Chain A
């Protein structure tokens, strides 16, 4: 197990490097200028060149990349070109805000997904299964952006029941876990939860249906075990795969959604990435993507470690 852990941790290094290199290259391959965020639109090319030299963007791209990697290895992700704020603090702030959103989206998505999936699996080919399957297909197909706007129109504009944007009437700095603030999370969290709900419902449905058709379930029934006890066996057998799916979905949610966070002006990692991309803010973009890549690696590792605990048949060596 320790060897497995070390090996997986070692894998993280080339993954992080590759992600950073690809991201760095993409930013420079894209037309535009890494100084867009600090230059007035009507700056002349001559002024751009002067400032490139001041910011070190006149060096060859591999040299810039090597310098960035050198600093990142020492824990310094640099400062945002646009704002001058440390990238690490920008990410910390954004991830905390996305975390709030992800917690609610997970709570909604995982609860509904598992419940719908289990019901559909138990009542396979019945009308309820068809309804759940149709909803799940619709859920993964519907564009986030569109759904978010529809929810805003209905709940914010027409009914004036929930806020349309932001993270509280005073912003994230004064966030508290009370209804006055939680009401700001409802619409973005519901929007975000639709895909995990649907994916989980489909996965759990397939798992439950498969497990119910296994011989050991028939044997349990033949032995006279009650439905509740059989259900526990089904849950235990379905859990490893369902948890793996939940892990991936949690990763997606914690990574932030550019579209949903932009529609709801939610100051999380998605909003941060959106701004960084449009401003060509290379240090901020690099730092955020590196952090998210490492986060995904860590999350998958946690899932891999948890799975054998739930199902001893899965060996990690």
Chain B
């Protein structure tokens, strides 16, 4: 009876079964993300090192491929804002959690970790981790451990979106940092978090080998594979060759033209919509041709997104707004973003332009970049589509880092060189990154990234409700109305959502591709 129960338990709880296979993943990064806690290399760094070795107080639910993922308890079991003072948050810390080095995680450790990125007077302050983490939690004013299980966080002003920011902050072990001589460089060699994986081997620029943390606090997420090997392979062709020759079991972002042959050779190609958008961000400064709503709507109606999808081997979702149509933030906008050349031409004619007498616009684009999909191919496609309705596009092609520098500097910066739009793909996993940061009039550069200097009191009011409202329904309503305004006023050229393609060996089992930038490797196994 006991044996039967044990077998049943082992089959139901992934981590309790025998470890299965070595999972070797070729990442797109050119280096192993730093295993210091607040890792680098953006979302890919968090995906492979941040959420494998470490945990946050709040985590993303990565268990389902069928619905957009939401926040779930992580190292905090619950969090709530003070009923009277909306700038005070209380996080209840999970009991019984230990770092990989055996030390206990508690509220003091959480406060210590906030110090490492926010308090430059603290001995554990690390400029590198601060660079990665500080921008995620700009509203935090102070914090303290009230007792072992209670963390108090105070914000400058009410911030209902704080949990989304907190989800980025990974907790490193204070005891391990002390043990290695109070050095973050030394910590990199033997890092310690509370995550489902432990780092066993780390060769910078070459490989990281992770093994399961059998004592992980969430028994449902104890890894099934016996080892996870991460390899930086920035060249897409090299990744495909590595998969096809059996050197790796999983590659990130196979190039679209390789997907049919990979499928033909029996490899699994997984994809799923996730909170990513590939738009043109319009400049709204004086003299911008995109200040005319008819022109903005015409451009949105001119794009043959289905044709583009075919061009990309189906590896995109046609955008109808900033968030995918299945998002609960999408709302019910009146303007339908579709392919309607006749209507686009009518609007352009009304605005005073035709194919013979086109509107000339200059657009900043990049040759490549994180999340940029196939920027040259897609932009040339758009250029042809827009020419059909009387918009003549000239490109200002920038290297990715140069485009980001201009994006931070804003449309008024001389580096814009007369361009009236920029094309940067956006992370849109929370209301701030999806909507607010782009169009809040309080976030003009350099304070924020409202690149186009858009300003609309109605939008600002909606954003205030989103940020200050702690009633989930009221907040959701405001998010929806804000998004409806995004679409109804055609505030961006909505083009595509990426689907995060991955190619896997047929031996890889159990992967659920969540609708998220991050993924859970715990249920994955590799048949031997």
Q: Which residues of A contact B (CB under 8 A)?
A: 30-33, 35-49, 51, 54-55, 82-85, 90, 149, 152-153, 156-157, 160, 163-167, 170-173, 262-265, 267, 271-272, 274-275, 278-280
Minimum Cβ distance to chain B for residue A268 (Å): 10
4 nearest A-B pairs in the assembled complex, by CB-CB distance: A45-B446, A31-B402, A32-B401, A156-B245
Minimum Cβ distance to chain B for residue A130 (Å): 34
Question: Do the beta carbons of B401 and A31 come within 8 Å of each other?
Answer: yes
CB-CB < 8 A to B410: which residues of A?
45
Q: Is B30 an interface residue (CB 8 A)?
A: yes
Known: A33-B404, A42-B449. A165 touches B42 (CB 8 A): no
Of B30, B131, B399, B424, which one neighbours A32 at CB under 8 angstroms? B399
Known: A41-B42, A44-B446, A171-B207. A278 touches B30 (CB 8 A): yes
Binary A-proximity of B384-425 (CB < 8 A = 1, otherwise 0): 000000000000001101101110111000010000000010
CB-CB < 8 A to B132: which residues of A?
38-40
CB-CB < 8 A to A36: which residues of B?
401, 404
Stretch binding the partner chain, chosen from B60-68, B233-241, B273-281, B458-466: B233-241
Of B234, B399, B408, which one neighbours A43 at CB under 8 angstroms? B408
CB-CB < 8 A to A149: which residues of B?
237, 241
Residue of B with least CB distance to A259:
B235
Of A85, A165, A171, A172, which one neighbours B242 at CB under 8 angstroms? A165
Of A45, A82, A156, A280, which one neighbours B409 at CB under 8 angstroms? A45
CB-CB < 8 A to B204: which residues of A?
83, 85, 90
Minimum Cβ distance to chain B for residue A149 (Å): 5
Q: Report Cα–Cα, A164/B449, bound state, in Å.
A: 41
* Residues of B in contact, count (CB < 8 Å): 58
Question: Do the beta carbons of B247 and A166 come within 8 Å of each other?
Answer: yes
Q: Report Cα–Cα, A167/B203, bound state, in Å.
A: 12
For the complex with contacts A83-B31, A85-B204, A90-B204, 5 further pairs of A-B residues with Cβ separation under 8 Å are: A39-B132, A42-B437, A156-B241, A164-B238, A279-B30
Question: Do the beta carbons of A44 and B448 come within 8 Å of each other?
Answer: yes
Q: Report Cα–Cα, A35/B128, bound state, in Å.
A: 10
Q: Report Cα–Cα, A90/B203, bound state, in Å.
A: 11
Question: Do the beta carbons of B206 and A267 come within 8 Å of each other?
Answer: yes
Q: Is B315 an interface residue (CB 8 A)?
A: no
Residue of A with least CB distance to B34:
A83
Minimum Cβ distance to chain A for residue B372 (Å): 10
Binary A-proximity of B345-382 (CB < 8 A = 1, otherwise 0): 00000000000000000000000001000000000000
**Can you show 6 pairs from A to B with CB atoms below 8 A apart?**
A32-B405, A41-B404, A160-B246, A165-B241, A264-B238, A272-B205
Q: Is B134 an interface residue (CB 8 A)?
A: yes
Question: Do the beta carbons of B401 and A280 come within 8 Å of each other?
Answer: yes
Q: Report Cα–Cα, A66/B291, bound state, in Å.
A: 47
Of A43, A274, A278, which one neighbours B131 at CB under 8 angstroms? A43
Q: Report Cα–Cα, A45/B451, bound state, in Å.
A: 11
Minimum Cβ distance to chain A for residue B510 (Å): 24
Q: Is B223 an interface residue (CB 8 A)?
A: no
Known: A31-B402, A43-B408. A262 touches B241 (CB 8 A): no
